[in-house]
Structure 1
Amino acid sequence: MSEIFQDLPPYIQALIAGIITWLLTALGAAAVFVFKRVNDKILNSMQGFAAGIMIAASFWSLLQPAIDYGEGSAFPWLPAAIGFLLGGFFIRALDLVIPHIHPNTQDKNQYHEGVGTKKLNKNTLLVLAITLHNIPEGLSIGVAFGGIVAGNGQATFLGALGLAIGIGIQNIPEGAALSMPIRAAGASRWKAFNYGQASAIVEPIFATIGAAAVLVITPMLPYALAFAAGAMIFVVVEELIPDSQASNNTDLATLSLMIGFTIMMILDVALG
């Protein structure tokens, strides 16, 4: 089965990997069929764990290969630096356009961003917030698989697979962290589940786009790798870490971040 998967075109590999991460999000969202609400300690530890996974993936799976790709040039760090910053600015631009909400950690009210937030209900805005943050995850999977045949000597099939596995692992608690509050607010189990799983539908879409883009324009690979890393780091610093530290579980959230980072580091080094 693995040999058949390896023989597929990179954009198909990326699509399949993206679908798997989407299904793992659905698995996490299915927690609403067992529990009505999630304990704050569990929620904060899940958010910290997801942050650790994404930080480690951003460096080992994306930034380091982007820098290594430029070895031999006068400024091997330049594509990585440009792509990294562009990734952050890209997510910031989407923040300004896509309607969504962020929890305000000081007064527990909701901080709204984007266009037309008053026209949408709270649950939809929550889903759009997580959907926005799943875009760089999909892109990172796509450029990792696309890089295998686009001339990146550091890219390997197992390395790309390890990245997809790491993102899939952190998608499980992410799905629960979205569906459970929606369920606790009074929505039905099915409605909360559908909201939770729908947030990750962008991952297979953007995974396919990322893989196809680096295959069509091969020289953009280091920029694309760093772009995905910058977008992921923006999400981690803007959303995951502040949310994980919002309650009185800061030490637990920090340790969970370190565990997530370690797991992703092991996956990437072992499989890469």
Structure 2
Amino acid sequence: MTLAFMEDLNPVVQALLATLFTWGITALGAAGVFLKRELNRRLLDGMLGFASGVMIAASFFSLLKPAIEMSHDMGVPGWLPAVIGFLLGGAFLYLVDRLLPHLHIGMAMNSAEGLKTSWQRSVLLVLAITLHNFPEGLAVGVAFGAAAAGIQEATLAGAVALAVGIGLQNFPEGLAVSAPLRREGISRWKSFFLGQLSGIVEPLAGIIGALAVFMVRPLLPYALAFAAGAMIYVCVEELIPEGHSGGHSDVVTIGVMLGFALMMMLDVALG
């Protein structure tokens, strides 16, 4: 996925290819179930922390910071679109979290969140990770749409850096779905299928994000901040608490620091 190749493509196609890449990394992580049935809980906690660190850094460097800079150019207070979009993103994920039936890793069926349902445990586990992946795909799509719109603060290199960062943190998420399913006695192939399925929402969200900001340019800073708010909500509400529930808070913290540092490096170096 070189910049020269991406530059000649329609922004929606750019977003689609980038999110297909992030989905592919999810599938690669889910394929880990073919190597090992049991996933070390300490390793899982570190992976969840790493994913959180990547998402937190991406939320600021790739989304909120450009949104604030764009707002100044549009003649509105720099903080206004960022605050409104950020809070709307969190509110949207709050509503989805309350309505969409899902189950977090290691939890009993009676701890399932969202509307009550008779769906199988495996489906609820997949939906929990799918809830994480939607704002990630949306963020990638918005970034490519912003770059195509000719916004000085948003670059194609920065959008690619965001896609790479999201892809890296999708690896542990794919494994975090497939490994628990395999441990519960589900076949390797079905565990893999369900694990990669959690990332299928990202290409759809990426297309929606790219189309929205490319067609309605004045909404761009709001869209960037919206994606940031949604990702921060996922980190605080889901990923970090899940990591701490395993009893390895130090590993989670180290994972967050490493993930943040890597995403910051990618954004600054490539963006």
Please give the TM-score of this superposition, normalised by the length of structure 1. 0.95
In the alignment, the residues of structure 2 paired with residue 85 and residue 151 of structure 1 have an alpha-carbon distance, to the nearest angstrom, of: 26
Question: C-alpha deviations, 1:195-225, integer Å up to 9, x for none?
Answer: 1000000001110110001111110000000
> CA separation in 2, counterparts of 1:217 and 1:16?
22
Alignment of 1:18-57 (within 5 A): 18-57=19-58
3-state DSSP class of the match of 2:153?
Answer: coil
Is 1:11–1:146's contact at 8 Å kept on the other side of the alignment? yes
**2:50 corresponds to 1:64:** no
Q: Does 1:186 align with 2:185?
A: yes
Q: Which residue of 2 aligns with 1:228?
A: 227
Q: Distance in 1 between the 2:14 and 2:204 partners?
A: 12
TM-aligned CA deviation for residue 5 of structure 1? 1.8
RMSD value, Cα: 1.4
> Counterparts of 1:8-27 in structure 2 under 5 Å?
8-27=9-28
SS at match of 1:101: coil
Deviation track 1:30-86 (CA, whole Å, cap 9, x = no partner) reads: 000000010011010000000000000000000000001011535111001000000
Match of 1:114 in 2: 114
Cα distance in 2, alignment partners of residues 265 and 54 from structure 1: 10
Q: Which residue number in structure 1 is paired with residue 77 of structure 2?
A: 75
Q: Distance in 2 between matches of 1:43 and 1:192?
A: 17
Give the conservation status (yes or no) of the 8 Å contact 2:19–2:140: yes
Task: Give runs of aligned pairs for residues 231-270 of structure 1, distance below 5 A.
Answer: 231-270=230-269
Q: 1:102 aligns with which of 104, 110, 113?
A: 104
List per-residue Cα deviations over 1:131-185 (Å, max 9, x = no partner). 1111000000000000012242111111000000000000011100111001001
Q: In structure 2, what is the equivalent of residue 88 of structure 1?
A: 90
5 Å-filtered alignment, 1:107-146, equals: 110-117=110-117, 119-146=118-145
1:109: Cα distance to partner? Answer: 6.5
Gaps of 5+ in 2: none
Asked if the contact 1:29/1:193 (under 8 Å) is kept, the reply is yes
Inter-partner Cα distance in structure 2 for 1:258 and 1:116: 36
Aligned residues: 269
TM-superposed CA distance for 1:6, in Å, is 1.3
Distance 1:102 1:247 in 2: 12
Can you list the C-alpha shifts for 1:205-255, whole angstroms capped at 9, x where unaligned? Answer: 110110001111110000000000000000000011001111221111101
**Which of 149-158 and 125-134 deviates more?**
149-158
The one-letter amino acid of 1:20's match is: F
Distance 2:203 2:163 in 1: 11
Counterparts of residues 205-220 of structure 1 (less than 5 Å): 205-220=204-219
How far does residue 93 in structure 1 lie from its aligned partner after superposition?
1.2
* 1:112 Cα deviation after fit: 1.9
Alpha-carbon distance in 1 for matches of 2:76, 2:234: 31
- 1: CA distance, partners of 2:237 / 2:265: 25
Distance 1:207 1:35, change over 3 A: same
Which secondary structure state, in structure 1, belongs to the residue aligned with residue 72 of structure 2?
A: coil
Unaligned 5+ runs, structure 1: none
Which one is further off, 140-149 or 150-159? 150-159
Q: Tell me, what secondary structure is at the counterpart of 2:148?
A: coil
Q: Give the Cα separation in 1 of the matches to 2:151 and 2:255.
A: 32
